[in-house]
Structure 1
Amino acid sequence: MAERSKFIHMLEYAKKKKTMTSKPKKVGLSVGELIVKAVAASKERNGLSVAALKKALAAGGYDVDKNKARVKTAIKSLVAKGTLVQTKGTRTSGSFKMNKATERERLQEDQRSSSAQQTSHRELCY
């Protein structure tokens, strides 16, 4: 009899829905997007070093000390995707610069979006 009551209690516990509170999604750019933005803004011929990249992220308000691992994985994934090219060093150390092919694509997207904004502005004015 006691076993049956334990079983019923377990079933009731399993039926109850657990309410999970989800964290609000952060507003702003992801770490990868911030890194791409910093490297693209750099005028260094050999690319931006990791130390300079971390300084640029910190200047932009990103907490680099707290998110070291996140910065490393973002750099690794950007190199794997081909967005960044590693000019010096290995793994996540050294210098990085934008891949010329992806930079051209990014510029073309910017031009498309700016021309779309101009046409929408014209439509609103007339």
Structure 2
Amino acid sequence: MAEEAPAAAPAKVPAKAPKKKAVRSKTDGPSLPELIVAAVAESKERKGISLAAIKKVLAAKKVDVAKSNKRINTTVTKMVTKGVLTQTKGTGASGSFKLAKTEPKKCCTLKTFN
């Protein structure tokens, strides 16, 4: 019988150093929800402002609407679920929106006695 040479062990590959993530600097100025609230607040429409009109106002305030379209839509829907905005027409991110009226907090409760 012919003896076979033992198989050579695979060469160890040095572990790669993890890639460093690019550090994004915070942009100066108000955040997207603050800009949306300001756009809705300055609207004079009685029935609310549409999403397209909100995007026009944001574009006038130097926000890249084409790049951040998805973020604008999700921010508006989150603001509706949190109660910051109310949706007067439509569903989801489409429709008209206006600022929610805050209910006055009750300072004391009336108790009735039998």
Mapped to 1, the partners of 2:95 and 2:82 lie a distance apart of 18
| Residues 91-118 of structure 1: CA deviation (Å, up to 9, x unaligned) | 111110000118x8xxxxxxxxxxxxxx
Structure with max Cα Rg: 2
Amino acid at match of 1:46: K
**Comparing 18-27 with 59-68, which one deviates more in the overlay?**
18-27
Amino acid at match of 1:2: A
| Residues 14-52 of structure 1: CA deviation (Å, up to 9, x unaligned) | 6x4543331212222221111011101112111111111
Alignment TM-score, normalising by the size of structure 1: 0.67
1:2 equivalent to 2:3? Answer: no
The equivalent of 1:84 in structure 2 is 85
SS of 1:2's equivalent in the other structure is: coil
The equivalent of 1:100 in structure 2 is 101
| Residues 47-100 of structure 1: CA deviation (Å, up to 9, x unaligned) | 111111111111111111221111100111100110000001111111100001
Mapped to 2, the partners of 1:79 and 1:17 lie a distance apart of 40
Q: How does 1:11-90 map to 2 (within 5 A)?
A: 12-13=14-15, 16=17, 18-90=19-91
Mapped to 2, the partners of 1:49 and 1:60 lie a distance apart of 17
Amino acid at match of 1:56: V
Structure 1 outlier segments of 4+, above 3 Å: 16-21
- Shift of the 90–19 alpha-carbon distance from structure 1 to 2, 3 Å rule, reads closer
> What's the RMSD between the two structures over aligned residues?
2.0
Identity of paired residues, percent? 47
Mapped to 2, the partners of 1:28 and 1:44 lie a distance apart of 26
- 5+ residue gaps, structure 2, are 1-7, 105-114
Greater helix share, structure number: 1
Mapped to 2, the partners of 1:19 and 1:95 lie a distance apart of 43
Size of the alignment, in residue pairs? Answer: 97
Mapped to 2, the partners of 1:74 and 1:82 lie a distance apart of 12
